Amino acid sequence: MVKKAYVFPGQAAQFVGMGKDLYENSSLAQELFERANAILGYRISDIMFQGTDADLKQTKVTQPSVFLHSVIKARLAGDHFRPAAVAGHSLGEFSALTAAGSLDFEAGLRLVQQRALAMQAACEAVESTMAAVLGLSDEAIERICLEISHETGGIVVPANYNCPGQLVISGDVPTIAKAIERLKAAGAKRAIVLQVGGAFHSPCMKPAEEALRDSIQHTLFKKPICPIYQNVDAKPHTDPKIIKENLIRQLTAPVRWTQIMRNMLADHINHITECGGSGTVLRGFFRQVDKQLANDSL
């Protein structure tokens, strides 16, 4: 029996021209893009279809663009979209909740817009960044981050547990630089600063979390059509109250994607479909956990 989970990518899944083929070949996609343009108050479809890579890398543009691409792809699947479970990487959690019927299209898009603006403002308030660490155990990275934080009083924390052997750290620029030196000395194959706007999933995002809290609390969330494995605890949930609480905590807590994958496999998920972006990033993470897992993309 096939037990399929749909997974939704986060920021960095954008690409020039994303969604243009959907718009040109589907009246439903046209309708949803035009609704999005009206909701946002500007033609995001024009930026997605014709904008440059630099245009799409702006957090305030990236997040709604990736959300729209994923959600519209799920909508176009129609009756074939029958997940046993869903999950989304960071921003992708909003896409997953919308695709699974917990959020309606407008509410999901408005929350993503507010999230993007709040995160961009938090990024501008402090000089911060992220770095990818490859080839070192999660436990070693956690220990080194904790040691350096205690030594310096700065911020450096695990942010994205992407897959075994790949963890992204997040924090202020000077402390990240010290962490990179220490991690390389400890045997990391690579430890490289990422080209991102700031320190996502770290205490640097506390102002964004506070800005988004009221919006999430006052938005109607319904019980999704299937469990959603959430970033903050990697566990499946269907209770709207718990989903909201986890979503509020998500901005300052790490994305536990490695743990989500392992929990899905333990719960007998045997097929993964990636919905949005290039359709390859999250599938690649799953292959690091189970090379034989059936997978595809929409």
User: Which residues form the catalytic set?
Assistant: 90, 201
Residue 116, both tokens = 């993007």
- Do residues 221 and 238 lie in contact, with contact meaning Cβ atoms separated by under 8 Å? no
- Do residues 119 and 205 lie in contact, with contact meaning Cβ atoms separated by under 8 Å? yes
Residue 288, both tokens = 């690091």
Q: For 104, list phi and psi in degrees, rounded to 5.
A: -80, 170
- Do residues 275 and 298 lie in contact, with contact meaning Cβ atoms separated by under 8 Å? yes
Could you tell me the CA-to-CA distances from 107 to 70, 245, 259 in Å, in that order?
A: 15, 17, 28
Residue 2, both tokens = 């096939």
Q: Which H helix or E strand runs over 160?
A: strand 156-163
- Do residues 51 and 61 lie in contact, with contact meaning Cβ atoms separated by under 8 Å? yes
Strand partners, 229: 87, 236
Amino acid at 142: E
Q: Report strand pairing: 190-193 vs 128-134.
A: antiparallel
Dihedral sign, Cα of residue 136, residue 179, residue 196, residue 153: positive
Amino acid at 169: I
- By C-alpha distance, which of 60, 251, 269, 261 is closest to 170? 251
